[in-house]
Amino acid sequence: MLVLLTAYGLLQLAASSVLPQYRKWPAMSTYKKDIDNHTSVADNIIDYILAGPAKGEVYRRLARMTDKFGPRLCGTETLEDAINYMVDEFTQDGLENVRKEAVTVPHWVRGNEKAQLISPRSKDIALLGLGKSIATPKEGITAEALVVRSFDELHARAGEAKGKIVVYNQVWESYGQSVQYRSAGAREAAKVGAVAALVRSAASLSIYSPHTGTLSYQNGIPKIPGACITVEDAELLWRMSQRGENITIYLYMEAETLPDVVSYNVIGEIKGNLFPDEVVLVSGHLDSWDVGQGAMDDGGGAFISWEALSVIHHLGLRPKRTLQVVLWTCEELGLYGGIEYFEKHQKEAQNMNIVMESDMGTFTPQGLQFTGSDEAMKIIQYLASTLLKRLNATDVDDGADLSDVNQWPSIGVPGGSIKVENSEYFYFHHTNGDTMTVQNPDVMDLCTAVWAVTAYALADMEYMLPANRTVTVN
C-alpha cells in the first residue's frame, strides 16, 4: 500500500502542470479486486440502513425539514432559514468542515395571479406563472387566444398572432421536448406580436394541476408574461379552437423580479484518511419551487446525499478520500449554486474523483447512470453488479443526469446519478402535489443504500476512476 501510494504521489507531482493530465491507470483486475474487497463493508452499510439504526431515518429527517419550512424558493428568507437549519443538522450529526459557500441568486416573486376563459363560456383557468416572467399590466390582459400544437404551427400562423395570447398545446413526448415550450414559448410568441403565452404543463399525467418552471427572455425581443396551464385546459382550448370557436382569455399576473440576493450552498464532509484532498461529491438541491413542499424535487435527492454520509459516519467508517455532501442553492431558477461551485472549484478537477447528484426523485432504485471513460464505465458496472446486487440495483446506463454538476464532465471529471423507477416523477414535478406523500420510507432507504455504498466504495478504493481530468493552470 505504501509503495503504491508513493508511486501514485510521484505521478501526480510530475504531471501537475500538464493540461490535460494523462495518468497511467491500473488494470481492470486491480479495480475489480478492490471492489470485491468492499463486499462486507457494503453489506454492513446496507444492513445499517435497511434493518438497523438508520431504518426510516432519511424519510423522518426529510419530513421534519419539509413540514417545518414548506417550499423553498430561491431568493426567499424561507430558503435561507432552511439552509441554516441544514448547517445545524450537519454539525449536530458530526459531519466535518460544515460550511456555507456564498452564491448570488435572483429573487423572483410570483405575487397574485389568475386566468379566466371569457368566451365561448366563462371558466376559471388554473395557472402557475413561470419563474422570471414579468407581470401583466395592472388591469390584466384580455385577448383572443391563438391555440397551437407546436412552434412550427406558430410560425406557419404567425400572421394571426398579433395582439393575441398564444396557447401552446404541445403533445407530451418527453420532458426535454415539452420543456422547450416552457422556456422559449413566451419569447417565440413575442416575436410574432403576441401579448402573452400560456403553455401546457410539462406533465406525463395530470389531475388538473399546473406545473411551473422558468422561462427565458431574449435581448431585443419584447418581454411578455408567460404561465403554465393544466393539460386539461390546454386540450379544452385546443378542441374549441379546432371547432372554429373564438376564444377570449383574461390573464392577470403580479410577478416581479427584485434585486439579487446572497444565498449559500451547504457543504459537509468526512475527511479522507489517506488522500484527504481527493473528493467524492454527492449532492442534491435544497431549493424548490414555491408550490408543494419540494419533497420530491429535490428534498429526496438532497437528503439521501446527507444520509449517505451520516450512515458512514455513524458506522465509524472513514474512507481513504474525502466524502463531500453538497446541498445546492437555486437550482430551479437556473443552476446558480452548481455554476458558482464549478467556477470556484474547477481548478481542483484533478482531485475530483466523481461528482454525483440525485435529482430525478427517490423512487425504487434500479442502479446508476454514469458519464465517463469506457474503462471507468466498466468499473462502475462491476461495482453495481457486485456491491448493489442485494439492492436489485445493478443496471448502469450510459449518461448521468447531472443537473447542478453538469459542467464537470466537460473537464474530464466523471459524473454519476441514481437510476430510479421514475415513471411517476412528472406527475408531481413543480406542482402543489410535490409533498411528502410522494415519498415512501422503505424506498428512500433503498436509495440511501445505493448512494452510500457507491460513494463509500469510490472514496475508499486505492485508485480514482480512470479519467483525463483537466488541470487548470492559472
Ligand X SMILES: *[C@@H]1O[C@H](CO)[C@@H](O)[C@H](O)[C@H]1NC(C)=O
Asked if 75 touches ligand X (CB under 6 A), the answer is no
Which window, 72-80, 194-202, 355-363, 383-391, contacts Zn ion (CB under 5 A)? Answer: 355-363
Chain residues 345-374 in contact with ligand X, contact rule CB under 6 A: 373
66-70 contacts, C-beta under 8 A, 24 or more apart: 66/293, 66/294, 66/295, 66/299, 66/435, 66/436, 67/293, 67/436, 70/293, 70/294
Q: Which of 246, 410, 423, 472: binder of ligand X (CB under 6 A)? A: 246
| Least distance to ligand X, CB of residue 21, Å | 9
| Least distance to ligand X, CB of residue 135, Å | 28
Asked if 391 touches ligand X (CB under 6 A), the answer is yes
Measured from the Cβ of residue 53, the count of other Cβ atoms closer than 10 Å reads 10
| Least distance to ligand X, CB of residue 392, Å | 4
The nearer residue to ligand X, 32 or 314, going by C-beta atoms, is: 32
Q: Which does 297 bind (CB under 5 to 8 A by kind): ligand X, Zn ion, none?
A: Zn ion
Asked if 160 touches ligand X (CB under 6 A), the answer is no
The nearer residue to Zn ion, 133 or 422, going by C-beta atoms, is: 422
The nearer residue to ligand X, 33 or 162, going by C-beta atoms, is: 33
Chain residues 10-49 in contact with ligand X, contact rule CB under 6 A: 22, 33-34, 37
Asked if 162 touches ligand X (CB under 6 A), the answer is no
Task: Give the helix/strand (H/E) hosting 193.
Answer: none
Q: Which of 287, 298, 307, 401: binder of Zn ion (CB under 5 A)? A: 298
Residue type at position 402: L
Q: Which of 269, 278, 331, 340 is catalytic?
A: 331
> What is the C-alpha separation between 31 and 371, in angstroms, rounded?
18
Which window, 43-51, 145-153, 342-350, 354-362, contacts Zn ion (CB under 5 A)? Answer: 354-362
For 234, counting Cβ atoms within 10 Å of its Cβ (0-12 exposed, 13-18 middle, 19+ buried), the class is buried
The nearer residue to ligand X, 4 or 262, going by C-beta atoms, is: 4
| Least distance to ligand X, CB of residue 290, Å | 35
| Least distance to ligand X, CB of residue 33, Å | 5
Chain residues 359-398 in contact with Zn ion, contact rule CB under 5 A: 359
Q: In what order do the strands lie in the sheet with 113-119?
A: 123-125, 113-119, 248-253, 141-148, 165-168, 196-200, 226-229, 127-129
- Three-state SS for 226? strand
Q: How many residues bind ligand X (CB under 6 A)?
A: 15
The nearer residue to ligand X, 65 or 236, going by C-beta atoms, is: 236
The answer for 392, left when phi > 0, alpha when psi is -120 to 50, beta otherwise, is left
Asked if 467 touches ligand X (CB under 6 A), the answer is yes
User: 3 vs 7, 31, 124, 274, CA distance in Å?
Assistant: 6, 17, 73, 13
CA angle 289–295–296, rounded 5-degree value: 90
> What is the C-alpha separation between 25 and 463, in angstroms, rounded?
8
Q: Is 421 a catalytic residue?
A: no
Q: Which does 239 bind (CB under 5 to 8 A by kind): ligand X, Zn ion, none?
A: none
The nearer residue to ligand X, 47 or 375, going by C-beta atoms, is: 375
> What is the C-alpha separation between 284 and 402, in angstroms, rounded?
10
Which residues are CB-neighbours of 141 under 8 A, at least 6 positions away?
165, 195, 196, 225, 250, 251, 252
Asked if 466 touches ligand X (CB under 6 A), the answer is yes
Asked if 472 touches ligand X (CB under 6 A), the answer is no
The nearer residue to Zn ion, 62 or 167, going by C-beta atoms, is: 62
Residue type at position 118: I
Site string for ligand X, 87-116 (x = CB under 6 A): ------------------------------
Task: Give the helix/strand (H/E) hosting 188.
Answer: helix 175-191
Q: Which of 297, 357, 445, 460: binder of Zn ion (CB under 5 A)? A: 297
Q: Which does 462 bind (CB under 5 to 8 A by kind): ligand X, Zn ion, none?
A: ligand X
Task: Check whether the bond before 20 is cis (ω within 30° of 0).
Answer: yes
Instruction: Quote the crossing angle between the two packed helices 374-387 and 39-50, to the nearest 10°.
Output: 60
Burial 274-290, CB ≥16 within 10 A → b, else e: ebeebbbbbbbbbbbbb
Asked if 273 touches ligand X (CB under 6 A), the answer is no
CA angle 101–464–4, rounded 5-degree value: 125
> What is the C-alpha separation between 368 and 220, in angstroms, rounded?
43
Interacting residues with Zn ion (CB under 5 A): 297-298, 359
Q: Which residues are known catalytic residues?
A: 331
Interacting residues with ligand X (CB under 6 A): 22, 33-34, 37, 244-246, 373, 375, 391-392, 462, 466-468
